[in-house]
Structure 1
Amino acid sequence: MFLELIATVFAGLAAAGIVLGLNKGLKGRLPKWSLPVAAGAAMLASTISSEYSWFPRTKSSLPEGLEIVQTVDGSAFYRPWTLLKPFTERFAALDTVSISSHAAQPDMQMADLYFYGRWAPVSKLAVLADCATGRRAALADAIKFHDDGTVSGAEWVRPDAGDPILTKICKR
């Protein structure tokens, strides 16, 4: 966040420098308002560029085995450009390498799910999927695993058909 602020300030300074150079070359013929308008426009363009490039940059830097399963696009009235084209502000990625199951319960799959947000730290959630019944549960302290691979204490949720998280976990 701090580096983006610095980049925005430098974009404004660069635009102001270019307008100053042009004005000097044109012997002062540019209107006085051109310098702050150019600086402001460059800062706005830098901010917009940063917003729209966050998801592709983050996606390209994901380690191998992490697959994006869900994205959330956002828009706001105070960012009018997002009303025309919303941008991805957060997403969930499944660690396919971490998918595991108990030999006695092959339909029960366990995996790690990571949540990324534009201005938020990455958070991790272990998820248990019951592929036979189409339900999943977040792993919490109350869950107990038994020797035969069964689970007790899970708070199961039954997501809509085609849930991307459940589909990806049960795909293997």
Structure 2
Amino acid sequence: MFFELIATFAVGIAAAGLALVAGHLSRGRLPRYSAPILAGIAMLCYAIWSEYTWADRTLSTLPESVEVVSAVEESRFWKPWTYVVPQVTRMMVLDRAGVQTNPTVPEILLADIYLFGRWAVPVKRPQLVDCAKAARADVSEAALADPSQAEWLVVGVEDPVITALCQS
């Protein structure tokens, strides 16, 4: 967050500098207030670009084996442009390369789910998934040893994790 603030100020200073150079090259024909106006517009445009592209930029740093299973798009009243095009503020990502099975219970999958949120620390949530029952459970020591000890939550076949793991 701090680095984005610094980058926003840098964009504003650069835009103001360009306006000052353009004013000098035009021999004073540009009004003096063009530099702060251009700096403000550039800073606002950079902030909007940064908000709308954070999900793609975050995903570009992850390995090829990850897949977005759910993305939450939101609109905020203090960002009126989000009512036109909502922005992704949270996403749930599945690591396909890390999906494992237990030979004693092959119908139950163990998958790593990562939760990403704008301005939030990413969270890794290992999940047990039972495709036959369309259920998920958080991983615990007892559940890893015996999946029947897990606290299963029947989520249905429309759950994004069940759809991603069991329908493919």
TM-score (norm 1): 0.88
1:143–1:26: structure 2 CA closer, same or farther, 3 Å change rule?
same
Q: Paired residue for 1:55? A: 55
RMSD (Å) for aligned C-alpha atoms: 1.8
Separation in 2, partners of 1:87, 1:31: 36
Separation in 2, partners of 1:110, 1:169: 10
User: Identity over aligned residues, as a percent?
Assistant: 42
Q: Higher relative contact order by CA 8 Å / sep ≥ 6: 1 or 2?
A: 1
The number of equivalent residue pairs is 168
CA displacement 1:72-108 (0-9 Å, x = unmatched)? 1122010111111011122111111221222232211
Runs (5+) with no aligned partner, structure 2 = none
Q: Paired residue for 1:170? A: 166
Q: Does 1:151 align with 2:148?
A: yes
Q: What secondary structure sits across from 2:154 in the alignment?
A: coil
Q: Paired residue for 1:19? A: 19
TM-score (norm 2): 0.90
Whether the 8 Å contact between 2:99 and 2:111 is mirrored in structure 1 is: yes
CA displacement 1:38-70 (0-9 Å, x = unmatched)? 110000011111111111111222113221111
Whether the 8 Å contact between 2:135 and 2:156 is mirrored in structure 1 is: no
Separation in 2, partners of 1:12, 1:121: 28
Higher relative helix content: 2
* Displacement of 1:116: 1.2
Bigger Cα displacement from structure 2, 156-165 vs 32-41: 156-165
1:23–1:48: structure 2 CA closer, same or farther, 3 Å change rule?
same
Separation in 2, partners of 1:42, 1:34: 12
1:22-33 correspondence runs (5 A):
22-33=22-33
